[in-house]
A and B are shown apart, each in its own frame.
Chain A
Amino acid sequence: MNSAIGKLYPSTKFAVLLLLVILSVFTPGYMLQYLMFLVVLLFSLCAGTARQFLGTFFKSIFIIIIFIFAIQVFIISNEDAQPIWAFIHFSQTGLNDSLSMTSKIVAISSLVICFFQVTDIKDITFALEKSGTPRKVTFLISSTIQLIPQMSALSKTITDAQKSRGIETEGSLLIRAKAFVPMLGPLVLSSIQQTEERMLALESRAFSSKAKKTSIYEIRKKPADYVLDILCVAGLIAYIAWRVM
């Protein structure tokens, strides 16, 4: 997040994201969309998040793209299907459909993944609050994102504890399945019980105060942000004009 891109104001980056997504969704064909992937990759390089981007992208989107191709091209019985073997055919329309569909998925996913890799949650929360989002909403977002890794770590501790009491985790399916509830149960119950105390702790931090909230952290829009904002609006207008004509 220390790159020039990382330091831009979140709503600016969001505007760029929105514009590019609109472009991807409404442009016919698939060349632009696949190109978008490369554009995003370029962005990532500039922001220093290229490796992360590729890693996340392939872990998440790759499988579903392959499946889509597989099903659309080889399995679905379209009119122009040419049989290859048993129930597997090859369909040109299937291929075209897949390309069109997957390209959009690739484009939008790349944009989204990149966006969250170059934008800090802290910034997003700040920008949201500044634009009037209620505290309860930003609270939900921040606390959920922070809690998930903590719960994972906690579940590991509990797994250790249960192993110490003789609950086996290796072996037949039945043994493993029996281990599930003792592993998860304590975590759930203790989380729920802690929720009560957490509520009291938050009350002690004046959570329910009706005063106007302030923030010790701040970011401001810089000239670069305003320039980009204007470019985005211009881009959008130009695109709409081009499509209408």
Chain B
Amino acid sequence: MAVISLKHVSYQYPLEDHKVIRDISFEIEKGQVWGLIGANESGKTSVCNIIRGFIPEIYRGTLEGDVLIKGKKIEEYGPGERASIVGYSFQNPFTQISGVKETVYEELAYGMENTGVPREKMKEKVEELIRIFHLEKLRDKNPYELSGGQKQRVALASMLALDPEIVILDEPTSQLDPKSTEDIFEIVKLLKEQGKTIILVEHKVDLVAEYCDHILLLADGQVAMQGKTEEILTDPQVLVCGGQLPQVVLYFLEREKRTGKKNKIPLTVQNVSFAYPNGYTAVEDVSMAFEKGEAVAIIGQNGAGKTTTVKLMNGLLRPTKGEVLIEGQSTADKTTATIARKVGYVFQNPDDQIFQESIYKEISYGLVKQKMAPEEVKRRTLDEPTAGQDRKSTELLGAIGAGLAKKGKIVITITHDMEFVVKYFKRVIVMAEKKKRRDASPREIFWDEELLRFSSLKQPYLCQLANLLGHRDILTIGELLEVTV
């Protein structure tokens, strides 16, 4: 019997004049792992909300069609019952903390407390969760003070404390670094082994291909394609519908068928170190120089010092040793706002900066605020811009970055997205453990296995593929084709 069944479901939000979901029908059997993919605004989150019952109860609006969970209409489940049957994990780690518990230990028990689980059972379950999710070190910490990745793990664990049969994960890794992403997917694997039914909404198609056995592709509020992963994710039709295909597949598809300037150095970081008032050193003796028209990516594990370095460049932080020079002048005696006229900065967590709808508008907002023509702002720093973006937006960002570089600006980006780096950057700086480790071209960096290992970074998927095929120093699909065909 199908565990989840949607029949001819359509839905319209209140205040909207069009249906966000139109005539959707699909069935999910017990124990399956479904990847829900599609462009932004295609209706993925709405579908998840419908399965979970948030629509229509909380979102109101008009819902048509039948939604059956375990054979029963969703309306027939009592308040609080659904939480024990359908678990839901959101994209933003911050909002999933209950806010009423002071330690992770108690946070994990919160859901169980609400459903009246006896104390002894709760203690057992919490210990189990701590073990599985590797939360030993975080036991007594305040959930608010955890990093994004840690919060997400705690949120997932808390949700699973209620032992739901169905688990919906809505882009759980979009705000996490590679290591945390891996951790989350390890958990997905575990859940699969436990026989849970999983729905995973993700943009990282390569990971979806690895962990999901079925795919549901949504486009424009309708089901565009559905079926087994092997069949769907090898079909170029996916690209037409606004989805993405794994790198491996793109390579094979292609197989089936067939540029910097020197000038005055505008930005220099000289032997800069930074330590917080409590003594913790975030960055040690870092030196870098940037020239006009360069597009540079800074990569490294979280905590390596990337964001600190960039904040030192735009004046939010001041070096405790060394200095930052903009056009030859030290930043020591300028206010942050003044420096901002020369160095722009886009934050990693969109909620921290509060924005316009698109990153592009966001960048121009900063400029408009200062009534300046774009030409006058000398460099832009983009901090993890592709997190949570779909393919179209990622391409737009890359194009903006390239465009700015062409205009003579310096574009510095912090990112975990290795494919993005390969596509748009000619120079990569690797940071690890508070120091700059290497400054070279993407090709040299991504084939320096020891460096990558030391910095806890992974090669882009295509390089991994090339490695498997026995070829080295490959960066693009085109190059791989040349040596294998």
- A residues near B (Cβ < 8 Å) are 122, 135, 139, 142-143, 146-147, 150, 154, 157-158, 160-161, 163-170, 185-186, 189-190, 194, 197-218
| Contact among B96, B113, B144 with A215 in the assembled complex (CB-CB below 8 Å) | B113
Whole-angstrom distance between the alpha carbons of A202 and B90 in the complex?
12
CB distance from A172 to the nearest CB of B (A): 14
CB distance from A145 to the nearest CB of B (A): 9
- 12 A-B pairs (CB sep. < 8 Å): A160-B336, A163-B336, A165-B370, A200-B58, A205-B162, A207-B80, A208-B80, A209-B116, A211-B115, A211-B116, A214-B112, A218-B119
Whole-angstrom distance between the alpha carbons of A37 and B365 in the complex?
56
Whole-angstrom distance between the alpha carbons of A28 and B352 in the complex?
56
A interface secondary structure, majority:
helix
CB distance from A27 to the nearest CB of B (A): 39
Q: Is B266 an interface residue (CB 8 A)?
A: no
CB distance from B422 to the nearest CB of A (A): 28
Whole-angstrom distance between the alpha carbons of A210 and B365 in the complex?
48
- Which residues does chain B contribute within 8 Å of A215, judged by CB atoms? 113, 119
Cross-chain contact B111 with A206 (CB below 8 angstroms): yes
A-contact 0/1 string along B65-94, CB 8 Å cutoff:
000000000000011110110011010101
A-contact 0/1 string along B40-65, CB 8 Å cutoff:
00000000000010100010000000
Whole-angstrom distance between the alpha carbons of A163 and B343 in the complex?
11
Cross-chain contact B119 with A216 (CB below 8 angstroms): yes
- B residues near A (Cβ < 8 Å) are 52, 54, 58, 78-81, 83-84, 87-88, 90, 92, 94-102, 105-106, 109-119, 122-123, 126, 144, 155, 158-159, 162, 314-316, 335-337, 340-341, 344-345, 347, 351-354, 365-366, 369-370
| Contact among A146, A165, A170, A216 with B100 in the assembled complex (CB-CB below 8 Å) | A146
| Contact among B87, B95, B101 with A197 in the assembled complex (CB-CB below 8 Å) | B95
Cross-chain contact B113 with A167 (CB below 8 angstroms): no
What would 9 more interface pairs be, CB under 8 Å, given A158-B354, A164-B314, A216-B122?
A: A139-B100, A164-B315, A165-B365, A190-B351, A197-B92, A200-B90, A209-B114, A210-B78, A213-B113
Given contacts A122-B102, A142-B100, A211-B114, A206 and B92 within 8 Å (CB-CB): no
Whole-angstrom distance between the alpha carbons of A135 and B365 in the complex?
44
CB distance from B349 to the nearest CB of A (A): 9
Name the CB-closest residue of A to B353: A161
Chain A to chain B: the 9 pairs with minimum beta-carbon distance, closest first: A209-B80, A186-B354, A211-B116, A142-B100, A206-B83, A216-B109, A205-B111, A208-B79, A197-B95
Name the CB-closest residue of A to B370: A166
Whole-angstrom distance between the alpha carbons of A213 and B81 in the complex?
14
- Which residues does chain B contribute within 8 Å of A146, judged by CB atoms? 99-100, 102, 144
Cross-chain contact B314 with A217 (CB below 8 angstroms): no
- Which residues does chain B contribute within 8 Å of A203, judged by CB atoms? 54, 58, 83
Cross-chain contact B352 with A158 (CB below 8 angstroms): yes
Cross-chain contact B95 with A194 (CB below 8 angstroms): yes
Cross-chain contact A213 with B116 (CB below 8 angstroms): yes
Cross-chain contact B337 with A158 (CB below 8 angstroms): no
- Which residues does chain A contribute within 8 Å of B90, judged by CB atoms? 197, 200-201
Cross-chain contact B369 with A167 (CB below 8 angstroms): yes
Cross-chain contact A198 with B158 (CB below 8 angstroms): no
Whole-angstrom distance between the alpha carbons of A195 and B315 in the complex?
32
Cross-chain contact A165 with B84 (CB below 8 angstroms): no
Whole-angstrom distance between the alpha carbons of A197 and B336 in the complex?
33
- Which residues does chain A contribute within 8 Å of B109, judged by CB atoms? 216
- Which residues does chain A contribute within 8 Å of B78, judged by CB atoms? 210
| Contact among B88, B101, B113, B354 with A190 in the assembled complex (CB-CB below 8 Å) | B354
Whole-angstrom distance between the alpha carbons of A209 and B80 in the complex?
4
Whole-angstrom distance between the alpha carbons of A211 and B357 in the complex?
41
- Which residues does chain A contribute within 8 Å of B123, judged by CB atoms? 216
Given contacts A161-B347, A166-B337, A205 and B100 within 8 Å (CB-CB): no
CB distance from A235 to the nearest CB of B (A): 34
Whole-angstrom distance between the alpha carbons of A154 and B351 in the complex?
10
Cross-chain contact A209 with B366 (CB below 8 angstroms): no
| Contact among B83, B84, B101, B354 with A189 in the assembled complex (CB-CB below 8 Å) | B354
Cross-chain contact A166 with B341 (CB below 8 angstroms): yes
CB distance from B338 to the nearest CB of A (A): 8
- Which residues does chain A contribute within 8 Å of B113, judged by CB atoms? 213-216
| Contact among B58, B83, B337 with A199 in the assembled complex (CB-CB below 8 Å) | B58
- Which residues does chain B contribute within 8 Å of A170, judged by CB atoms? 335
CB distance from A187 to the nearest CB of B (A): 8
